[in-house]
Amino acid sequence: MSSLASASFGAALQGARDAAGAQHYPEATLYMVATPIGNLADISLRALHVLQLVDVVACEDTRHTQGLLRAYGIERPSAQLLALHQHNEAEAAQAVVARLSAGGRIAYVSDAGTPGISDPGARLAAAVREAGLRVLPLPGASSVTTLVAAAGLVGGEDHGAFVFAGFLPSKAGERDAAVQTLAAEARSVVLLEAPHRIEALARALAVLGERRVTVGRELTKQFEEIATTSAADLSAWLAAGRDRTRGEFALVLHPRPADNNDADAERVLKLLLAELPLKSAVRLAAEISGAPRNALYDLALRLRGNGDQQSSSG
């Protein structure tokens, strides 16, 4: 497979040199390189060029990355691959900083997708920046934006806005508490989950009832599935197909539908804010309207902030 893949990417490597080779690639720089989340063709020409150019490729899994590079026809000795994962990120980051300080170019790749998004890389980027060195991102594949693009997120108060929550806690009690917090979030929410926990997540999300959920399984791969159902029916959707609990998952909770209760709660909150301190107004508004206190607190902060801005501008 790798020999066939490397042969098919020969033209891509030449295209990468032609398209990206004339650009400037500064030394003493960490290149955060996005890699495909499944489909090998979802690599950028600039990423291919940088993966050939740098002195070292730091990576989440050296064996996985070696296989990925060879699939593109890029050969690197093991000595030029540096393991940097969630268990050693702090100490390995210092080794990267030392190499960069000597003028080297280093690329960092996670196993799939964009580094630092529910993957190692964030601590590395922070350490490099704190050392006064440059971090240069090479954008590319991400399961987050891939699923959002297909979900058709319309409705709600903030059209198109979404919150990235990533992986919820693995312990049942903590996961259920996190879902209760999501219930109060009016915007869309993007979640990630592993195959061995997807059924538990679906059971936890069932309390959200008819709120729409778009689930993406094996995104960009041969057996990709994308479907939209209700939170209450997500477990049934998973059970309806033999392979539906396999593969990596991304999910989007659609915006919470606006209803008259939301408008009533906001009206009550505005009246109370005019007479009471913020916390007291939120507490009473929640008791009167039945709306979630966290959502009312966030709304109160926005209303107070808007009022302060209007006062200062007036």
- Where along the chain do its domains lie? 2-141, 144-253, 260-313
pLDDT band at 263 (very low <50, low <70, confident <90, very high): confident
Which pLDDT does position 105 carry in this prediction?
A: 98
Lowest mean pLDDT across 181-185, 199-203, 220-224, 230-234: 181-185
CB neighbours of residue 14 within 10 Å: 13
Residue 312: pLDDT over 50: no
CA distance 292 to 85: 38
Q: Give Cα 65 to chain centroid, integer Å.
A: 21
The 10s digit of each residue's pLDDT in 204-242 is: 999 999 999 999 999 999 999 999 999 999 999 999 999
Query: Smallest Cα–Cα separation from 106: which of 75, 150, 138?
Result: 138
pLDDT band at residue 301 using 50, 70 and 90 as cut-offs: very high
Closest-CA residue to 299 (of 262, 255, 252):
262
Average pLDDT value over all residues in the chain? 91
Say what the alpha-carbon torsion angle 112, 113, 116, 120 is, to the nearest 10 degrees.
0
pTM: 0.79
CA distance 89 to 81: 15
Q: Strands, DSSP E only, in the chain?
A: 29-33, 56-59, 81-83, 105-109, 134-138, 162-166, 188-193, 212-217, 225-230, 249-253
Architecture, CATH, for domain 144-253: 2-Layer Sandwich (3.30)
Q: Which fold has domain 2-141?
A: Cobalt-precorrin-4 Transmethylase; domain 1 (3.40.1010)
Q: Token pair of 217, please?
A: 């399984």
> In the block, which residue shows the tokens 């066939």?
4
Task: Give the whole-angstrom CA distance, residue 22 versus residue 112.
Answer: 27
What was the pLDDT predicted at 160? Answer: 75
Tokens of 213: 């959920």
